[in-house]
Amino acid sequence: MGQITFIIGNGIGMALDDKYFTLNKGLNVAWKEIKSRNIKTIIYRSLKSRKKPVTENDLRQVQDYFFKLKAIENLASTLPVKIRKHFGMISKFKDSYFSYLYDVSRYFFNYEPKDGSENYQRYKRFIQNFATCIVNSEPIVNVVTLNYDALLIRELYRCDDHKLFDGYSGYLVDGFLDSGFKKENMERYHGKNFGWYIHLHGSPLFYTDDRGVIRKRTVSTDRLQRSMFNPAGDYKSGDNHLILCDPTQKLERIQHSELLSSYFECFKEAIIASDVIVLIGYRGEDCHVNDLIKERNGVCKLVVEWQGTNYAESDRMFFWNAVLGDGVEVRLLDSIFNFDFNSIVNKKPPT
């Protein structure tokens, strides 16, 4: 049997706290961290109105505006000195804008669940069942995350009895060693049978140090240490390893990062090698993800999503068949935390 690849969207956060995990909320909180009025003015101009970004489409307009400014900056040597002196603002805008995006991702990453709630207990059971599935499945299990929160990674690290992350002796490898990230760190040598943990759209954990080495901040499961993670202003070369933009721009942005482009290559390999692809809490808007899955025929494509208001299975099947192609099965649940991982351990591809 081939591999199983799980693709995890923003649904875990939404299932825990649908008011906190909205892009608009994250953008609004991070906006308050921007101290430069000039930077905000440039963003206003890019949106052609005096408003802050509230959607991915707004982010697309801002980044398109920035790339046009960069194109003009590249012509600086051919322009008069009195014009060139204004180009310093473009670099300042780049640093401030990507710091803004970084603060958005940090907002989601630093979420603290309400421990006493019944929903939190469901979430804990969901993660524990996921960990058990990773360990007990006969084929290799790959985990691909598309979000910026720490809800998955922190709880998986807590599953010490499973030793999911234990170097090359564990079940999941993300390519980071003490020496930093390299694509070859993902290779399965000497009969190793681990799966990949791929944070496809990046994370505030990732940064490039002063020597150009891609590194990852330590994931802490201790609440006090978590509260100290990356205080505001600690922005360190993370712009190339974080994708927060309109879906039509994401693949282009991925190519700007050695880390994320390597992850994307691994993602393609995982999809090709998988007989079962499970998408949990994913809205289906990322064409660079959808197109790879759609190309795969003769595999099981299981979509697990919240039932929602006025959701009909036939409507969702129509949507997902258009997005992902043949072989789609849709499970609409009151909560994605109710998903039964045992139901896919021995799942067979369609015949």
Q: What angle do CA 90, 49, 18 make, to 5 degrees?
A: 95
Which of 31-35, 104-108, 143-147 tops mean pLDDT?
143-147
Residue linked to tokens 């603290």: 112
- Confidence at residue 295, expressed as pLDDT on a 0 to 100 scale: 95
Quote the CA–CA distance of 80 and 1 in Å, as a whole number: 65
Measure the CA–CA gap between 145 and 154, rounded to whole angstroms: 13
Q: Per-residue pLDDT for 191 more than 50?
A: yes
Report, as an integer, the average pLDDT of 281-301: 95
User: pTM for this one?
Assistant: 0.89
pLDDT of residue 264 exceeding 80: yes
pLDDT at 322 exceeding the cut of 70:
yes
Distance CA 345, CA 339 (A): 13
- Residue bearing the bigger pLDDT, 253 or 93: 253
**Which single residue is written with the structure tokens 């992850």?**
263
Q: 55 Cβ partners below 8 Å, 6+ apart? A: 23, 24
**pLDDT over threshold 80, residue 227:** no
Q: What is the pLDDT of residue 49?
A: 85
Q: Are 29 and 163 in contact (CB under 8 A)?
A: no
The residue type found at 184 is E
Mean pLDDT over the full length of the chain? 85
Q: Which residues contact 101 (CB under 8 A, 6 or more apart)?
A: 30, 59, 239, 242, 244
Task: Report pLDDT digits (tens) over 124-134.
Answer: 999 999 999 99
Q: What pLDDT is stored for residue 223 in this prediction? A: 53
Average pLDDT over residues 250-258: 90
